[in-house]
A and B are shown apart, each in its own frame.
Chain A
Amino acid sequence: MGQQHDIYYVPSKSQWPIVAAVVMFLTVFGAAHWLNAEPGESGFGKTMLLIGFVGILCMFFGWFRSVIHESMAGSYNSQVDRSFRMGMMWFIFSEVMFFGAFFGALFYIRMFSVPWLGGYGHGVLTHQFLWSDYTASWGAGGGNGPAHVGGAFQTVVPWGLPLLNTLILLSSSVTVTIAHHALRAGHRGKVLAFLGFTVLLGASFLACQAHEYIEAYKELNLTLGSGVYGCTFFMLTGFHGLHVTLGTIMLSIIWLRVLAGHFNKEHHFGFEAVAWYWHFVDVVWLGLFMLVYIL
């Protein structure tokens, strides 16, 4: 590995952390204020949220710009590279745990709370005293709970768009891997082609999902308010979709960076980090496809 322990790299002072803290604060303060605004008056919350959000975009641009400059100038040694790798790995682990919370909620709702509301189990009184006519079931039958909140709905059929989306994401994982191999072999044209293909696949996934959401709201009456079925469906697929969006943006930026010639055969951690992230998003989707759509 050629560890150079006698030469450490410590980055110089930077304004980006404090900028990041300020814009994050503006975003959430604006959002909180907006959420609490009386109907009809949005107050300063919306404006502040917008300023904060644009600020976050600028911050990311500026922070990554300075990091890319330092990286291109050759400041980072192999030790820094390993720190970055660990950072990205543990960040993805934290994301796994975030999705874990929602998958856990789905598991609990399906295995415990809905059956208990239907009278299953020992000493569960809600069924007796509150909703004695509720029969526990998932999907269109009883997924919106004993009060049938949000009204009757239908579920999304997994073998249409969701299956197509599965195939899209799985192929995109293949194309990003081909691009990675091409990068290591030094074939820049091939990298650009396959990475560009990956970006397009990501975008088509998002387009399909947007179509699916519109259909769910307009035709199936499946909304975020459709009881626990609706909220687990939209929160899980929604947060995943958000991650696909981020991943697609990151892939596009990497594509531009390949075009600008930022990477060589040995040093392309930026590429690899985004590829890891993309595979993670892919794996989460497989879990979603199985647990949310099929089962």
Chain B
Amino acid sequence: MAHAATHDEHHDEHHEHLNFFQRWVMSTNHKDIGTLYLVFSLLMFFIGGSFAMVIRAELFKPGLQLVQPYFFNEMTTMHALVMIFGAVMPAFVGLGNWMIPMMVGAPDMALPRMNNLSFWILPFAFALMLSTLFLPGGGPAGGWTMYPPLSIQSASTAYVVFAIHLMGISSIMGAINIIATILNMRAPGMDLLKMPVFVWSWLITAFLLIAVMPVLAGAVTMLLTDKYFNTHFFDAAGGGDPVLFQHVFWFFGHPEVYIMILPAFGIISEIIPTFARKPIFGYKAMVFAIASIAFLSFIVWAHHMFAVGLPLGAEIFFMYATMLIAVPTGVKVFNWVATMWGGSMTFETPMLFAIAFVILFTIGGFSGLMLALVPADFQYHDTYFVVAHFHYVLVTGAIFAIMAATYYWIPKWTGHMYSEFWGKVHFWNSVVWVNVLFFPQHFLGLAGMPRRIPDYNVAFANFNMISSIGGFLFGASQLIFLGVLIHCVWFSKKKATDRVWEGARGLEWTLSSPPPHHSFTIAPVIHDEELAHGHVED
């Protein structure tokens, strides 16, 4: 095998000779970089989670309890920024880094050094952003959407804007790398329509990233110049309009929402067939549904702005376009259920998370449909109903999918099985408490409790207390997750087989557990029956 590799790679095969710094900081290896992404994401998950704990503690009882209102606003803002850009997106990039080359039969990512740069920008970007919490005058407190004029009233604007520029550069390079890997590095015979759905979902997500991260960069650049360089993009006195920022921001923001869910769809589409021991139902429909959702994501942005005073024609257009998304999403949910139908199912931890995803994400989807209705949204806008909606799609959607993926692939990554018992303890705690946490927030929102306010009417006291208890216990449950991971990586005695799961199909399972340093140093010969979707009929 080594004779086929170039001399550069030959050096790397002796990677045990690399010291710690060389291996992790100067890496060109997709697995090491993927691990860095995942560890970073876990760290950010706990940092963002601790901000959420502050929020829930403050809201435990009505009245100002623990923190000052400005700090509370910093917490809501930072919680969102850290979770979106620090936890969810890097986790998906980490999973893509680990799995895409193995799934398409490649030795590594197409552009390995740029891959390393994409990762190493992130710790610096978040150091920059989190440092604003210690600035005199405080960090950003106007919400993660950074609407002007509120967002440009503190000294933190420049820091946050530059941090977002860095994150954008990182995301764009990561996305370019993923597209080049998928389009250029597939083994012969790995046709586009034989690729795992996870790879498809990442191809489309990467396109979305390249299309919208520059738009976010443009939007925050206008904020920067409005604050520091005397421009008037968002100032009506100079002919601008604060609503303009909302348009540009949400042109980024809505595709961003799908950037955080499409890879989750891909993950669930890998896990359910494995544990139902049936190929995915409607493979092509799944791929086209992802593509349709991605297309629609570009023409629905103003549904975030129904209450801002849009012309009637715009409200109607964006309402109908938004509701249209339910169609491809429904196709996906239907196909996941149909995949399970008649399958010989087992319920290991990844499958439990995947099933919880299908049910709970669908709840989040339905509340999304309610929000899409313009007249109803006038009531729901900026209430806890919105908070409940997007936490159902992001926590029980994106985060549950990331956890499912971790349990599903960690035996492959480490070569050791995790503790199934503790995995299930983690799952049941998570799924119970996450509902205790977020379900009451629907009622709070419908009753009129506004979001991003540290105090509230005593009428909301009971549901808030229930929600906070759910929040603390959901937070604590994640310490079990941390324990399971630590145990699996360093202490587990139980070796994983190459295939790991009886029903698993796809190239990644033909490699050893843990896989070799460079996944495929020679192109694998593809046998269609070994692929997850190799037998697709036209």
Interface residues of A (CB under 8 A from B): 3, 5-18, 20-22, 24-25, 28-29, 31-32, 35-36, 63, 75, 79, 82-84, 86-87, 90-91, 93-95, 97-98, 100-102, 104-105, 108-109, 112-114, 116-117, 121-123, 126, 130, 142-147, 149-150, 223-225, 227-232, 235
Given contacts A86-B179, A143-B239, contact A25 B214 (CB under 8 A): no
Q: Look across to chain A and name the residue whose beta carbon is closest to the beta carbon of B128.
A: A29
Task: Identify which of B121, B215, B251 contacts A98 (C-beta below 8 A).
Answer: B215
For B176, the chain A residues whose CB sits under 8 A away are 86-87, 90-91, 94
Chain B residues with CB under 8 Å of A104's CB are 215, 247-248, 251
Hey, what's the 0/1 contact readout for B167-201 against A, CB within 8 Å counting as 1? 00100100111011001110110000000000000
Q: Inside 8 A of B179's CB, which chain A residues have their CB? A: 86, 90
Q: Is the CB of A100 within 8 A of B521?
A: no
Q: In which size bucket is the chain B interface?
A: 35 or more
The interface residues of chain B lying within 8 Å CB-to-CB of A5 are 187-188, 522-523
Binds A, one of B59-67, B111-119, B507-515: B111-119
Cα(A143)–Cα(B240), bound, Å? 10
B7 to chain A, nearest CB (A): 8
Report the Cα distance A86→B175, complex, angstroms: 11
Residue of B nearest to A234 (CB): B231
Stretch of B18-26, B383-391, B495-503, B527-535 that contacts chain A = B18-26
Evaluate contact between B184 and A9: CB separation under 8 angstroms.
Answer: no
Total cross-chain contacts (CB, 8 A): 251
List the 5 closest pairs (A to B, CB-CB), nearest first: A101-B218, A145-B239, A231-B231, A113-B241, A28-B162
Whether A97 lies near B231 (C-beta < 8 A) is: no
Q: How far is the CA of A82 from the CA of B106 in the complex (A)?
A: 15
Least CB distance from A134 to B in Å reads 9
CB neighbors of A among B104-149 (8 A): 106-108, 110-114, 116-117, 120-121, 123-125, 127-128
CB-contact partner of A9 in B9, B172, B187, under 8 A: B9
Give A150 to B237 CA distance when docked, in angstroms.
Answer: 11
Are A145 and B241 in contact (CB-based, < 8 A)?
A: no
Q: Which residues of B contact A63 (CB under 8 A)?
A: 113
Asked if B518 is at the interface (CB within 8 A of a chain A CB), the reply is yes
Q: Please name 11 further chain A to chain B contacts, defined as beta carbons within 8 Å, in addition to the given A10-B28, A87-B111, A113-B241, sorted by A numbering.
A: A5-B523, A10-B12, A28-B165, A35-B158, A75-B6, A86-B180, A90-B175, A97-B214, A145-B232, A224-B230, A228-B232
The verdict on B469 contacting chain A, using a C-beta distance below 8 Å, is no
Chain A neighbourhood of B312, CB < 8 A = 122
Question: A32 touching B111 by the CB < 8 A rule?
Answer: no
* Other-chain contact of B214, A13, A98, A142 (Cβ < 8 Å): A98
Which residues from chain B contact A235 at a C-beta distance below 8 Å? 221-222, 225, 231
Q: Complex Cα distance A145/B210, Å? A: 34
Main secondary structure on B side of the interface with A: helix
Chain A residues whose CB sits within 8 angstroms of the CB of B110 once the complex forms: 83, 86-87
Contacts known (A25-B124, A29-B128, A147-B238); A13 close to B210, Cβ less than 8 A: no
Q: How distant is the Cα of A104 from the Cα of B5 in the complex, in angstroms?
A: 48
Q: Known: A21-B120, A224-B229. Is A144-B184 also a contact (CB below 8 A)?
A: no
Q: Which residues of B contact A130 (CB under 8 A)?
A: 236
Contact of B238 among A10, A29, A144 (CB under 8 A): A144
Instruction: Report how far A87 CA is from B521 CA in the complex, Å.
Output: 22
- Which of these, B162, B188, B236, contacts A117 with CB under 8 Å? B236
Bound CA span A144–B176, Å: 39
Q: How far is the CB of B298 from chain A (nearest CB, A)?
A: 11
> Is B233 part of the binding interface, using a Cβ–Cβ cutoff of 8 Å?
yes
Q: Which residues on the B side are within 8 Å of A18 (C-beta)?
A: 25-26, 116, 120
Contact A146-B210, Cβ < 8 Å, known A7-B5, A10-B108, A86-B179: no
Cα-based distance from A285 to B162 in the complex (angstroms):
27
B240 touches A228 (CB 8 A): yes
A75 to B6: give the CA distance in the assembly, Å. 8
